Structure 1
Amino acid sequence: MLNPLFAYIEARSHTPLSDEDKSVLREALVYRRYKKKQFLLQEGDICKSLSFILKGATRQYWVDDKGNEHILTLSIENWWVGDRESYFKDTPSAYNIDAWEETEVLMLPKTYLERVSAIPAFREMRMHIDQNYSIAAQKRVLGSISHSAEKRFEELLKSYPEFMQRFPQHIIASYLGITKETLSRIKSQLVKK
């Protein structure tokens, strides 16, 4: 069950995992299964674990005063999910994270973070994903303030084509910061091209 995570770590580091490293990870990680729409984290709770998705899909979102959901992230297999600010600073989360499909994860409780971070391959992997996360966040902010809805949709198609099969139109629209009617119009224009 941990083999996908071991492969993920080794693909993002120059240092292989030793048998001892794998043993530490086996001790630290907790397997959990979530049903569709079941919460991994609810607004106001403190995020006590980061989760590596083995199977399934999640969404991280906040709800405004009018009850509208605003999608911050969508995540699928081989992605880490959690509220980083809440996890690292022990603050209540502003977000909800729920399973959009039946989802299986390996949870890394914060109580094990220091021990797991002593593993060289894990540290390298974490540095790699932190860099990618920062770059993706910058691109997302730039896109939201400077690109048209059409351009944001094209970028999503190019970067994450699997999202179109995994998430419904209203979720994709919220992730892009547009209405589902706008998304329908953009999709129909692309079909005509």
Structure 2
Amino acid sequence: MFEKLFHTINQKIQLTKEDLEVIKPFFIARKIRRKQYLLQEGDVCKYTAFVEKGALHSYTIDEKGNEHVVQFALEAGWISDQYSLLTGEPSLYNIDAIEDSELLVITHTSFEEMLSKVPPMEKYFRLLLQNNMIALHRRLSASLSLSAEEKYTKMVNAYPTIIQRVPQHMIASYLGITPETLSRIRKQISTAK
């Protein structure tokens, strides 16, 4: 169950086999079914989750009932509401499974204890945070300056399997466009090939 997590960690830092064994007990293996919540709006976030298998998404729902996708997490991705987790305040987000998923979840208390027992993990999470900040800034810049077609093409190039795994309305929401616009873009791209 820890293969993907260990592989992902070892891509950024090198841990000993002993370190990897120390890490294991801090995580809880959890399976969730498609459409099952990991977190619901109004609840306090209790975990950070690593996706060993499957796909999840984080989103808000506006007063009209429209879903606004903030993040996708496929295999080897992390997902949580860090603000709620760290402050204990109710979450503004929902996180649920797009596919049946296998997760490794860790509480904030276990996370802090793990970092104290395996100090190199501090570097791993610092690198992860840096990469997330860069991705967030790039996404913000893209949403302000790129056309809908450019945003779609950029996403498909970065995550080629996402189109087959994630419903079109969720992709449209993530890109900030309507499903009809996404459908038109996909048709234009397929006829241009």
Q: TM-score, normalised by structure 1?
A: 0.95
The answer as to 2:6 corresponding to 1:34 is no
Q: Which deviations, in whole Å up to 9, do the C-alpha atoms of 1:157-193 show, x marking residues without a partner?
A: 1111111111011111111010010001111111121
Provide the C-alpha distance between the structure 2 equivalents of 1:53 and 1:17, rounded to a whole number of angstroms: 22
Q: Is the 8 A contact 1:10 1:125 kept in 2?
A: no
Q: CA RMSD in A?
A: 1.2
Q: What is the CA-CA distance between 1:18 and the residue it aligns to? A: 4.3
Q: What letter corresponds to residue 8 of structure 2 in structure 1?
A: Y
* Aligned residues with identical type, % of pairs: 40
Q: What is the CA-CA distance between 1:3 and the residue it aligns to? A: 2.6
What corresponds to 1:50 in structure 2?
48
Q: What letter corresponds to residue 58 of structure 2 in structure 1?
A: Q
Structure 2: gaps spanning 5 or more residues: none
What corresponds to 1:128 in structure 2?
127
Aligned partner of residue 8 in structure 2, secondary structure? helix
Structure 1: gaps spanning 5 or more residues: none
Q: What is the CA-CA distance between 1:24 and the residue it aligns to? A: 2.9
Provide the C-alpha distance between the structure 1 equivalents of 2:16 and 2:94, rounded to a whole number of angstroms: 33
Q: TM-score, normalised by structure 2?
A: 0.95
The answer as to 2:81 corresponding to 1:93 is no
Aligned partner of residue 52 in structure 1, secondary structure? strand
What corresponds to 2:151 in structure 1?
152
Provide the C-alpha distance between the structure 2 equivalents of 1:17 and 1:51, rounded to a whole number of angstroms: 23
Provide the C-alpha distance between the structure 1 equivalents of 2:130 and 2:16, rounded to a whole number of angstroms: 21
Q: What letter corresponds to residue 139 of structure 1 in structure 2?
A: R
Provide the C-alpha distance between the structure 2 equivalents of 1:100 and 1:46, rounded to a whole number of angstroms: 21
The answer as to 2:165 corresponding to 1:166 is yes
How many residue pairs were aligned? 191
Q: What letter corresponds to residue 66 of structure 2 in structure 1?
A: N
Q: What letter corresponds to residue 5 of structure 1 in structure 2?
A: L
Aligned partner of residue 65 in structure 2, secondary structure? coil
Q: Map 1:73-88 to 2 at 5 A.
A: 73-88=71-86
Aligned partner of residue 4 in structure 2, secondary structure? helix
Aligned partner of residue 74 in structure 1, secondary structure? strand
What corresponds to 1:11 in structure 2?
11
Q: What is the CA-CA distance between 1:16 and the residue it aligns to? A: 1.7
Provide the C-alpha distance between the structure 2 equivalents of 1:18 and 1:61, rounded to a whole number of angstroms: 37
Aligned partner of residue 98 in structure 1, secondary structure? strand
Summarize the Cα distance change of 1:120–1:129 in structure 2 as closer, same or farther, 3 Å threshold.
same
Q: Is the 8 A contact 1:30 1:108 kept in 2?
A: yes
